[in-house]
Amino acid sequence: MAKKPENSGKEWTPEQVKQLKELAKGNTPTRVIALKLERTPGAVQSKASTEKISLKPTNQSPNKGKRKP
């Protein structure tokens, strides 16, 4: 069974929210953000949604993986 992250179930500090914003702005993957903040990926997604922080990569082409005819 996987070990729970250290901050699991704890309140988010203003510093953690700031770090979440910075990591999301830098296109850091959600799983990596979760590891850095010692949270679950679900907790990171939930907090990002609450704070209106986009976790979607900003530098990828919308046609990535699609072939042109």
Query: pTM for this one?
Result: 0.74
Q: Quote the CA–CA distance of 2 and 46 in Å, as a whole number.
A: 20
pLDDT confidence tier of residue 10, bands split at 50, 70 and 90 = confident
What pLDDT, in 10s, does the model give residues 16-51? 999 999 999 999 999 999 999 999 999 999 999 999
Tell me the CA distances in angstroms from 17 to 23, 25, 57, 59, 60, one per residue in order: 10, 12, 18, 22, 25
Predicted local confidence at residue 48, as pLDDT: 94
Q: Quote the CA–CA distance of 51 and 44 in Å, as a whole number.
A: 10
Which is more confident, 27 or 60? 27
Structural domain boundaries in the chain: 14-50
Q: Quote the CA–CA distance of 40 and 18 in Å, as a whole number.
A: 17
